[in-house]
Structure 1
Amino acid sequence: MTTHQRPVVFIHGLWLHATSWDPWVELFREMGYAPVAPGWPREADTVAAARERAEDVAGLGIDDVTNHYAAIIDGLPEAPVLVGHSFGGLIAEKLLGQGKAAAAVAIDPAQIKGVLPLPLAQLRAGLPALGNPANRNRAVSLTAKEFRFGFGNAVSEEESDALFERWTIPSPAKPLFQAAAANFSLHSEAAVDTDNSTRGPLLLISGLEDHTVPDVVTRSTLKQYRSSTALTELRQFEGRGHSLTIDGGWSEVAKAVLGWLDEHGL
């Protein structure tokens, strides 16, 4: 595995707290990395506190979060590996395109500008936020039923409910609105420098049963990188939904990421 403690920065997406990465952080530390999982700007340190202070994160947009992580990266001893899930995956792609990382792994990444497919399941998963235009500058919470459809559809209802209780927090709705309008905005914050050929390797991961970011969206994301000569790869996981980073099968995905990093000397 790695011969030194390369930094790894984990970036969560909407509706999950930063501590949902704790099992990954522990595993990566055991494997010789120096992992951190910082929260989004103004995110409380615990799930309970984040639920009590929902409006602290209201109005945060993609660039706010990206710049927050860029500042964290600037304080590290060397360029890190980024591992992002959902909107965290989109942010990891942005930072990689900006030359801020040695490599990135984007797991079920939110759609970037240029991605056209918009499956019905994805529309339904986004309705808790997108269903009301007034939500744009608000923080929005999911119900257990909404989480079950968007995250936990590939696990049992019992496991989905347990994950909901353990990890979910209110999140800003603005990134969803930005991504939804990206292809109609000249300077969208969901834009990524997909043409950059000097960036580090990128691994896209897709859960084939994902409702929030269906596989067709991730495959379309892969196509956006066709003009870059930098390494871009896709790994698909059968029978896995959007909860693949936190459910009982998380270690399968984490070990695949570790294997990919080892394969590329990272």
Structure 2
Amino acid sequence: MLKLNELRANVRTSKAFCGSLLLAAFLLPGAACADQTTAPAAAPRVEVSSARISTAPRTIVFIHGMFMTPKAWDNWQAYFQARGYTTLAPAWPLHEGPIQQQWSEASQARLGKLTLDEVVESYRQVLRRLPEKPIVIGHSMGGLVAQKLLAEGLAAQAVAIDSAPASGLIVLQWSFIRSNWPVISPFAPANKAYAPSLESFRYAFANCLPDAESEFLYRNYIVPESRLVGRATSEKVAEIDFSQRHGPLLMLAGENDNIIPASLNLKNFGKYSDESSVTNFHKFNNQCHALIVDKHWKDVADYVGVWLENQ
């Protein structure tokens, strides 16, 4: 597991190809071509602390990402409830109800107007009603929301899994551009929901999985999504003050993630500069974006559980 104050000593840095600066500016206004970094190949196993602070939070709020619903966290809720945590997995606005219902034309028409501001605010309201500051665990765009809530002091600890980037962060990796293009393309109607095909899901989310498993996940977990939410990562709502002190943060990445490359998660991690705050990074080898729902989800949950017990 990589710690913030070890980043510069342990990470090899190589210049990103800057000839595509115009393309980067086109995709995400204000983004700049920057260094890409890669984490060390191996991360040490985390050992469980023998004495956990008695005031550690015991409530977890799970935050799903784009194209998913709270169903993505069903196994995780059971896992952490069995370990004594109280868990909640609120839906984003307009993401309640059965999967098939969300594929209806009426649902998609409403969904197209959803913004990231509305998503973040819905979770602020959830956290403010809780009796304690909780742990927040988010995946993909939910990982960015988790970082945001931690930065705002509404959460005690956060885990960001395959997190969407904070404002201004980008990598010039073809899989990142190809996977996100249907959402961020200026030729696509901004206020019309995007319904991914099985083929596009396989490339963006499930590129490391067998076809049968990827099709099962697509049929049982995936829903259409608002393009406005995805485009907001270049806006003010996605800004984070990386210099301020914050509660413990764990950032996780999948080595083979196409839609949110591990190098982008590592770049996000490296932006945090307060050395008095706990900020850790870990990359799961041979994993892709579907790592919270695929057959290896428990490996990720185990790692998160051990990390939480050590805070």
Task: Specify if TM > 0.5.
Answer: yes
For residue 64 of structure 1, what is the aligned residue in structure 2?
118
SS in 1 for 2:241: coil
Task: Provide structure 1 residue ranges, at least 5 long, that are not aligned to the other structure.
Answer: none
Counterparts of 1:129-144 in structure 2, within 5 Å, are 129-144=183-198
Contact 2:57/2:156 (8 A) holds in 1: no
Letter in 1 for 2:181: L
2:149 to 75, 95, 113: 95
- TM-score by length of structure 2 reads 0.79
Q: Which residue of 2 aligns with 1:27?
A: 79
Distance 1:231 1:2, change over 3 A: closer
Paired AA for residue 32 in structure 1: G
* Unaligned runs of at least 5 residues, structure 2: 1-51
Contact 1:125–1:146 under 8 Å retained in 2? yes
1:164 paired with 2:212, answer no
In 2: Cα distance, 1:116 partner to 1:41 partner? 27
Match of 2:102 among 50, 56, 68: 50
CA RMSD of aligned residues (A): 1.7
Partner of residue 17, structure 2: none
Structure with the greater alpha carbon radius of gyration: 2
Question: What's 1:6 paired with?
Answer: 58
Partner of 2:10: none
Deviations 1:180-205 (A, max 9, x none): xx2xx5xx2211122221x2100000
**Measured at CA, do residues 258 and 241 of structure 1 come closer, stay the same or move farther in structure 2, by a change above 3 Å?**
same
SS of 2:190's equivalent in the other structure is helix
- 2:240 matched to which residue of 1? 192
User: How many Å separate the matches in 1 of 2:74 and 2:110?
Assistant: 23
- Aligned with residue 248 of structure 2, among 201, 215, 224: 201
> Is the contact made by 2:136 and 2:158 (CA closer than 8 Å) also made in structure 1?
yes
Match of 1:154 among 168, 192, 208: 208
Cα distance in 1 for partners of 2:84, 2:172 equals 39
- Scaled by the length of structure 1, the TM-score of the pair is 0.92
User: What SS does the corresponding residue of 1:54 show, helix, strand or coil?
Assistant: helix
Q: Which moved more, 1:32-41 or 1:50-59?
A: 50-59
In structure 2, the partner of 1:252 is 299
SS of structure 2 residue aligned to 1:135? coil
| CA deviation profile, 1:109-164 (whole Å, cap 9, x unmatched) | 00112323231101111122223544322211110000000000011111001100
Q: Take 1:69 and 1:23, find their aligned partners in 2: how far apart are those partners? A: 21
- With over 3 angstroms needed to count, the CA separation of the structure-2 counterparts of 1:118 and 1:190, relative to structure 1, is farther
State how far apart, in whole Å, the 1-side matches of 2:148 and 2:187 are. Answer: 26
Distance 1:114 1:130 in 2: 15
> What does residue 242 of structure 1 align with?
289
Q: How far apart are 1:228 and its partner, in Å?
A: 5.2
The one-letter code sitting in structure 2 at the alignment partner of 1:70 is R
3-state SS of 1:96 partner: helix
> Structure 1 residues 5 and 201 mapped into 2: Cα distance closer, same or farther (>3 Å)?
closer
Q: Structure 1 residues 99, 123: closer, same or farther in 2, change over 3 A? A: same
- 1:140 partner SS: coil
Task: Spell out, residue by residue over 1:70-108, the C-alpha distance to the aligned partner (whole angstroms, 9 max, x if none).
Answer: 000111110010000000000000010000001000000
- Counterpart Cα distance in 1 of 2:194 and 2:170: 25
The range that moved more, 116-125 or 233-242, is 116-125
Task: Spell out the pairing of 1:108-147 with structure 2 (5 A cutoff).
Answer: 108-147=162-201
How many corresponding residue pairs?
Answer: 257
Write the distance in 1 (CA, Å) between the matches of 2:260 and 2:275.
23
Q: CA deviation at 1:55?
A: 2.5
| Contact residue 112 and residue 193 of structure 2 kept, 8 A | yes
